[in-house]
Structure 1
Amino acid sequence: MKNTGLIYGYSLDGKGGGDVITGDDLNAPLPEGRVSWLHFDYTHADTQRWIIENSQLDQVVIDALLTEESRPRTTQVGEGLLIALRGVNASPDSDPEDMVGIRIWIDKTRIISTRRRYMLAAKDMVDALAANAGPTNPGDFLTMISAALMVRMQETINETEDSVDSIEEELVSSSSYDLRNKISAVRRIVISLRRYLAPQRDALLQMHQTRIAWLTEDNQQQLREVTDTLIRYIEDLDSARDRAAVAQEELSNRLAEQMNSRMYLLSLVAAVFLPLGFFTGLLGINVGGMPGAENPWAFWIVSGFMTITVGIQLWLFKRKNWF
């Protein structure tokens, strides 16, 4: 019966190419010396049925291949490796920090990988096989899929650093509240990416330190290179996070200074008008015997007195360097 949950299926020919395996051929025996790669959508009922009933894998491996959520890890089970990795979501209209996962079982004769959402790194493997430049053995597949994930990640890391650069440039000439939203967005991306990249670094370290027959010294060397690349990405994210935090602190300080300056100005205005308010309130009481009530010059005398009072206040403020 055809398995409609199969996305890609190949029988690796050992020369960089491979023959396509369809959903009808999943249970057919492979030619001698061939390695199969089966890539499934694990949410599909046919996939779940085949992995549970026909894959002949340990239950712990089956559970890992079909699990909804998985953090990056590498676990050796007998002569095979159970691997969970993450890559950036490069699909159109998607958030880069919304990372997609791939789960892989790999041993000397077969590779079984599962995913839920579209992953460009798997498509890169298919394109390489079509061009006869794909993996020739399980070790090559492991290094190539890991490297493809890193390549797809580079653009997102660079865009994050460019965003921080742009924020720092804007901060020189502006202290707009809009910058807060930009800084928060960058920090959210960095936190989300680092949440998975840190354990993925540990998974890759465990991967190239594993001693297993089909993983050659050359494969391990290539995995070390991939690990070094990932470590550099994590360091770049740490730098972007720290720079964004400094930018946010600087913006907060500037906005606080602006607020303090405005409050200080309002305080000075209130201090100037406080005695004037007292005089006008005193002269506005409705009691008998108010001096100057019948004097035609009383208004101008009072206005001149208050003007002199304001002048004296401003002179005192200036003398004390209050403005």
Structure 2
Amino acid sequence: MKDSCIVHNYLFDGQGGGREVGDDYPQDGNLILWTHIEYKHPQAVSWLESQGLDPLVAETLTRVESRPRALSLDNGIIIILRAINLNPGEDVEDMVSLRIWISGNRIITLRQRRVVSIQDVRQALDKDMGPSTGGEFLVMVVERIADRIGETIDDIEEKLSVYEDTAENNDSSIRGRVGAMRRKTAAIRRFLAPQREALDAVHRLSKDLLNESEMYCLRDQTDRMTRYVEELDLARERTLVLQEDIMNRIAQEQNSRTYLFSIVATIFLPLSFLTGVFGMNVAGLPGTEDGQAFLYLSCSMLGIAIGLIIYMRLRRWL
């Protein structure tokens, strides 16, 4: 484990660019200092308090389990968001937590696992295409998170379309994949619904932080989250319908096989009775001395079978 909880420090130049500075770089009142830390690091709480944050704020930012929300505390605003998990070897729906503290010219973000949206902001700053204010920073992070959520939902919808086409071809092997897709959809929606409410709360709480343009952009991202929640609800309904359709097809196939076995059993039941009777090893059976008896019995059994088949066809059982 690193000695310091700090992942990186960036100093904004106010023109869309920034440069990485040391962990102990002093706060400049005219420029925004952005620090990204690991909230599960043993020194995280003490470091936050050393930056002048209230212990309640530090405890809120480093809480292990926290759902998306936004609240105003100690002359700043806390925003807790969830982003798509794009870390290698991990499930996409196991969404990563990102905590943000913005107060004046100070921005602190906290993570446990790598958040790709934060890397996007770093790259934008390195290319002089990044945020120049705290409001622009927040809007950019939310936009990048929403972009990847949208890509994930598009992927879910495309796979569902493939599964629906496959189900129409009577391929029941996708049942497990449809179930996994339903669980994935539910896991993502679990965080998107409160995230939509959190962004709406940010819109109300951060009027001093965001200018009119940034407020409009944030409102647009809130609308995107609302649309994503609706799309996930639709995807969940599609998985339910698809699962029901697959189960109906499986039940129909099983019923068809059972019906076929019943027909075969009905035909062979009288034949088995005859073979059982004439196969008894007792004296007095008819035909035991007649060399044509086997032929007569075989023809009789064939006639019975044909008669049963004709009867079933007339009754439309076949």
How many residues in Structure 1 have an aligned counterpart in Structure 2? 317
TM-score by length of 1: 0.93
Superposition pairs for residues 113-262 of structure 1, below 5 Å?
113-173=109-169, 175-262=170-257
Q: Who is 1:39 aligned against?
A: 36
Letter in 2 for 1:33: N
* Equivalence for 2:308: 313
Match of 1:90 in 2: 86
Structure 1 CA distance for aligned equivalents of residues 199 and 294 of structure 2: 88
Q: Distance in 1 between matches of 2:43 and 2:74?
A: 27
User: Does 80-89 or 150-159 show the bigger shift?
Assistant: 150-159
Deviation at 1:14, TM superposition (A): 2.2
- Corresponding letter in the other structure for 1:109: N
1:275 equivalent to 2:297? Answer no
CA distance in 1, matches of 2:88, 2:152: 13
8 Å contact 2:57–2:74 — kept in the other structure?
Answer: no
Q: Identity percentage over the alignment? A: 37
Residue of structure 2 in register with 1:303 after alignment: 298
Q: Secondary structure at the match of 1:230?
A: helix
Q: Which of 95, 101, 105 is the equivalent residue of 2:97?
A: 101
Q: In structure 2, do the counterparts of structure 1 residues 297 and 223 end up closer, same or farther at CA, with 3 Å as the change threshold?
A: same
Q: Is the 8 A contact 1:11 1:20 kept in 2?
A: yes
The two structures have a TM-score, normalised by structure 2, of 0.94
Instruction: Return closer, same or farther for 1:3/1:32 CA change in 2, 3 Å cut-off.
Output: farther
Residues 227-258 of structure 1, C-alpha deviations (whole Å, 9 max, x = no match): 11111222222222211221111111111111
Q: 200-209 or 14-23, which moves further after superposition?
A: 14-23
Bigger mean CA offset, 293-302 vs 311-320: 293-302
1:265 is matched with 260
Matches within 5 A, 1:7-46: 7-25=7-25, 28=26, 30-46=27-43
8 Å Cα contact 1:201-1:231 kept in structure 2 = yes
Give the aligned residue type for 1:7. V
Counterpart code for 1:271? T
Please tell me whether residue 59 in structure 1 is matched to residue 60 in structure 2.
no
Paired residue type of 1:17: G
Taking the aligned partners of 2:229 and 2:208, their CA distance within structure 1 comes to 31
Secondary structure at the residue paired with 2:43? helix
User: Do 1:150 and 1:230's aligned partners in 2 also have CA atoms closer than 8 Å?
Assistant: yes
CA deviation string 1:241-276 (max 9, x = no partner)? 211221111111111111111111110000000011
Separation of aligned partners in 2, 1:77 and 1:44: 23
Structural RMSD (CA):
1.8
**Distance in 1, Cα, partners of 2:9 & 2:300:** 96
How has the CA–CA distance of structure 1 residues 284 and 3 changed in structure 2, closer, same or farther, with 3 Å as cutoff?
A: closer
What secondary structure does 1:68 align onto? coil
Q: Identify which range, 39-48 or 162-171, moves more after superposition.
A: 39-48
Deviation at 1:137, TM superposition (A): 1.7
